[in-house]
Chain A
């Protein structure tokens, strides 16, 4: 069945931004928010290669990853128009959809605490009108009409994720066209030039401090709880365990734009890893605390531990929507951290050595694979991380023992790694895609 979607012509788009302004007028979008964006490939006009503009909003995918990711069921699909609609009154502002969408369509509005997104001007469509951006395009680069939906779109600026986006880009080969020009007038020195426009990732540790702590605490909690299986069947400082759980809860709500809608976070168990994470977090905390304080039964202990392990798996799965830097696991995987904590607390030296060395190896591979720039983040932090892991490792080899100071060092190193994990996350957007096509 033919469906309607945006048709975009790279040859006609001159990057004039009229579409964007029309969208603001129609939908009352307030700057700095923008539902539609205009991006450019080869913005700095490197000679002997072409350039293009791309006007892009939401492609109203038939396989909408935003809808799947959203734990709060804030997304629906209009059955008449096929528009993927975001309902801000159901949104709790977790921003997970903004990481999941490779078209950068959902955007978080910090003033309102919720996400906003192109609605395909659904009301206009229902009245038989075209979307406002289409109507306004002064040069006919943007239109709206029947298209064949493919698994993914192969065109500059579009992610190859198989989301069945309802968009048809035309004439993308214009990117290969460039005029004859005097290279000497352009100052271009082919071999000396390193032309990289750095595009900021949507995710950074600085903006996700609550999440850094939330996930870090979860890893410690699960690892710590795991020790009950082997030693005293309970925890010495069990009130601190409760406190950690509470801190994790606070951190997880803190990162929401609408903390009072936190209850919505478990509405999408069927599809959203975030919903699963929150649910498993609740189950783990309740069952482990129940086990520690009320019902000292093995089945409950096993149940709590299993939910904890699933929880950590869910935590790691959440980030599968982001771009993978490499195929190897990240050294700060919460599961590895949990096992490390577990081995340290029980003084299982061999297990500790295996996990710590594995982490170190993973860390080094990652570090040398990524071409990082020089600076505090890329020199001092890695140095500390390595040192704080190496010293306890060395001492464990020699002394066959892990001291409290060692544990503190390791935990600090793990926290640094967790921070780096968030800094390493890259969300695919039209801007990042257009700028990675280096010439």
Chain B
């Protein structure tokens, strides 16, 4: 493995050491693992068995850190773009001078809000808060985005229904008798969930999968329902109706813990399986079977994915799903529950998701949060008074990951100055004027939680940064100095360079928990204090009624939607565009990437070399498409050219191309998506896309 050229050789050579650390990617599993280091080089990644959620090994991406950390494609020096679009290495001094001059210029000329600070989920951790502090306290303000690309609709739906986003510990799935994977493909997106799922199945539990695709997770499934994307709510309503009709509802549980059941019951009675069959394309027979299983097998764990809530009806869809766990009494019990996101380890945040995604009620005089991340391109272009002049991007790759790539690109190109902090030359980095080298997960310590497993973990610093890489905290420190601040002034606001300051900061965060120290975290993950292994086992629901709210007045007040869970027709999906663009375009995640991370690595390319559109053989035949043919996938927003492969994995009428590919690797799937917000939570409904596919050659 080629080593990056850097200052590595100046460091004291030390022997091989093993550390325990954790993966900070935006991923359910958030694995603990051991990393072996020698001479400042990552040698190996091996399992750490004491994390009960990820006891065996990390996934292929985690293992690929060996290549990723040592890759000679990594950006380890500041770069600037020169005339012909090429990047050349520059000194930190030049980079910081250029940036600080621009920052001063824009602030003086247009005000600090002419700068857009854009950060995404590339690396989680508490230290990220210093980025915000820099822009607020040092620069004097900035424009940021609100909302989130991923999961807010479902979070908000859960919050409004159950009061909190939490669920049983992952290993509790072992205790269940019925697993319903509704729109989640754990075998790819949450590999480690397959351990308890398999244990449950070995103990006689049944697995039902609801997904337009016959995914890798369906191998042991009893039943697979393949709905037309975005129609899940119709199925859930009919299932609820059947459960109630057949007296399978848990009346006792409902009487004690459910609010609005009477209205709900009256509301769903009209939704027959036949009605849902027409909408969803799933037969009434299968819907009845699903109702039978969900109504009669206990305990049931209902696990929902994030894909189906990225539709304009996503929040309400998720509410209909939760209602199924509620009316069958599958909340707060061993082996039962609604599993969407378990934020119990998010103990350091003042405002939890999804509330932190809301734009502020009263505009802050410093931070302007007027741009929806879902509509990033459009709203960047629209923003005025002051107009945007500059963008600073860290931990994100909006040019492939935000909806409507063409619009985002247009907005980027309109800016006068762009800074991107990155580890690799992504599509976004290539648009920058200055690229600053970003730290990787091994180069600065931080504390991370997980939205699936219940641990607080330390992501340890195990090597010195490669080349001239500086952690963002240090970049901001130096930049603040260039802006005229002294070290003394900065000390109380930013994190001074040096590991001891990082450790002090992290220790200060841990202070509120007796018994958890940084040193203890170095020995492995620690279960969150006050963890509820069985979520809601106290039957306390932080809703206005204190109960599970099938009827939620808040839903009406906050989002102007029906207080009862409903099925709403998703924008674009069942519309008049059907004729022109007959296929539904799905862009799920794959095991080979976390969004747009990892796919530039040689080992990942070996496994997943190029973007390939999956199309149902029926649809392929109609278009005379054979395996390996080059096709154009297009709609009114854009078009992409990819190879096609026909497979029954995909439902008729759908085509699938996993998201995360870079333009430089062939395509950005978001060329085809539209910037829309979800019905609740300020999420991004970028799955409401119709396309047509045409063969263009061999």
Q: Is the CB of B219 within 8 A of A137?
A: no
Partner of A26, one of B44, B54, B602, B649: B44
| Cα distance A356–B651 in the bound complex, in angstroms | 55
Within 8 A of B (CB), among A121-158: 135-140
Contacts of B603 in A (CB 8 A): 21, 24, 31
Q: Is the CB of B63 within 8 A of A25?
A: yes
Residue A261, interface by CB 8 Å: no
One of A9-17, A273-281, A342-350 at the interface: A9-17
Residue B605, interface by CB 8 Å: yes
Q: Is the CB of B56 within 8 A of A138?
A: yes
Query: Which residue of chain A has its CB nearest to the CB of B65?
Result: A25
Within 8 A of B (CB), among A167-195: 174, 177, 179-182, 184-189, 193
Partner of A14, one of B46, B58, B216: B216
| Cα distance A32–B221 in the bound complex, in angstroms | 34
Q: Is the CB of B647 within 8 A of A45?
A: yes
Contacts of B90 in A (CB 8 A): none
Contacts of B602 in A (CB 8 A): 30-31
Contacts of A20 in B (CB 8 A): 60, 607
Q: Is the CB of B223 within 8 A of A180?
A: yes
Residue B342, interface by CB 8 Å: no
One of A47-55, A309-317, A373-381 at the interface: A47-55
Residue B617, interface by CB 8 Å: yes
One of B13-21, B146-154, B281-289, B356-364 at the interface: B281-289
Shortest distance from the beta carbon of A229 to any chain B beta carbon, whole Å: 54
Q: Is the CB of B218 within 8 A of A138?
A: no
Shortest distance from the beta carbon of B303 to any chain A beta carbon, whole Å: 16
Partner of A181, one of B220, B224, B605: B224
Shortest distance from the beta carbon of A52 to any chain B beta carbon, whole Å: 7
Contacts of B619 in A (CB 8 A): 187
| Cα distance A43–B614 in the bound complex, in angstroms | 12
Q: Is the CB of B191 within 8 A of A14?
A: yes
Contacts of B218 in A (CB 8 A): 179
Contacts of B648 in A (CB 8 A): 44-47, 186-188
A-facing mask of B204-221, CB < 8 A → 1, else 0? 000001000010111111
Partner of A137, one of B57, B67, B226: B57
Shortest distance from the beta carbon of A8 to any chain B beta carbon, whole Å: 15
| Cα distance A20–B592 in the bound complex, in angstroms | 13
Shortest distance from the beta carbon of A169 to any chain B beta carbon, whole Å: 15
Residue A22, interface by CB 8 Å: yes
Q: Is the CB of A31 within 8 A of B606?
A: yes
Contacts of A189 in B (CB 8 A): 618
One of B100-108, B192-200, B239-247, B394-402 at the interface: B192-200
Does more than half of chain B's interface fall in helix, strand or loop, or is it mixed? mixed
The count of chain A contact residues (Cβ–Cβ below 8 Å) is 46
Residue A34, interface by CB 8 Å: yes
A17-B192 contact given A25-B45, A174-B220, A186-B226, CB 8 Å threshold? no
Query: Which residue of chain A has its CB nearest to the CB of B227?
Result: A185
Query: Which residue of chain B has its CB nearest to the CB of A42?
Result: B648
Contacts of B616 in A (CB 8 A): 186-187
Contacts of B350 in A (CB 8 A): none
Query: Which residue of chain A has its CB nearest to the CB of B192?
Result: A138
Query: Which residue of chain A has its CB nearest to the CB of B283?
Result: A182
Q: Is the CB of A179 within 8 A of B222?
A: yes
| Cα distance A19–B564 in the bound complex, in angstroms | 47
Q: Is the CB of A11 within 8 A of B289?
A: no
| Cα distance A187–B616 in the bound complex, in angstroms | 7
Shortest distance from the beta carbon of A75 to any chain B beta carbon, whole Å: 26
A21-B652 contact given A180-B223, A182-B226, A185-B226, CB 8 Å threshold? no
| Cα distance A18–B607 in the bound complex, in angstroms | 10
Contacts of A43 in B (CB 8 A): 647
| Cα distance A21–B33 in the bound complex, in angstroms | 15
Contacts of A24 in B (CB 8 A): 67, 603
Considering residues A15, A22, A24, A185, which has the most beta carbons from chain B within 10 angstroms of its beta carbon? Answer: A185
Contacts of B516 in A (CB 8 A): none
Shortest distance from the beta carbon of B670 to any chain A beta carbon, whole Å: 26
Q: Is the CB of A44 within 8 A of B649?
A: yes
Q: Is the CB of B57 within 8 A of A177?
A: no
Within 8 A of A (CB), among B58-103: 58-60, 62-64, 66-67
Within 8 A of A (CB), among B374-430: none
Query: Which residue of chain B has its CB nearest to the CB of A25?
Result: B66
Q: Is the CB of B221 within 8 A of A179?
A: yes
Residue B646, interface by CB 8 Å: yes
Q: Is the CB of A185 within 8 A of B57?
A: no
| Cα distance A22–B607 in the bound complex, in angstroms | 13
Q: Please name the 3 residue pairs, one residue from A and one from B, whose CB atoms are nearest each other, closest first.
A: A187-B618, A14-B187, A31-B606
Residues on B close to A: CB < 8 A?
A: 1, 44-47, 54, 56-60, 62-64, 66-67, 187-188, 191-192, 194-195, 198, 209, 214, 216-226, 281-283, 286, 289, 591-592, 602-603, 605-607, 616-619, 646-649, 651-652
27 contacts between A and B (CB under 8 A): A14-B187, A14-B217, A14-B219, A15-B216, A16-B59, A17-B591, A21-B60, A25-B67, A26-B44, A31-B606, A46-B648, A53-B216, A136-B46, A138-B57, A138-B58, A139-B192, A140-B56, A174-B220, A179-B209, A179-B214, A179-B218, A179-B224, A182-B286, A186-B648, A186-B651, A187-B619, A187-B652
Contacts A31-B606, A138-B192, A180-B222 supplied; 11 other A-B pairs, CB < 8 Å: A16-B60, A16-B187, A24-B67, A32-B606, A53-B216, A179-B214, A182-B225, A185-B281, A187-B618, A187-B648, A188-B618
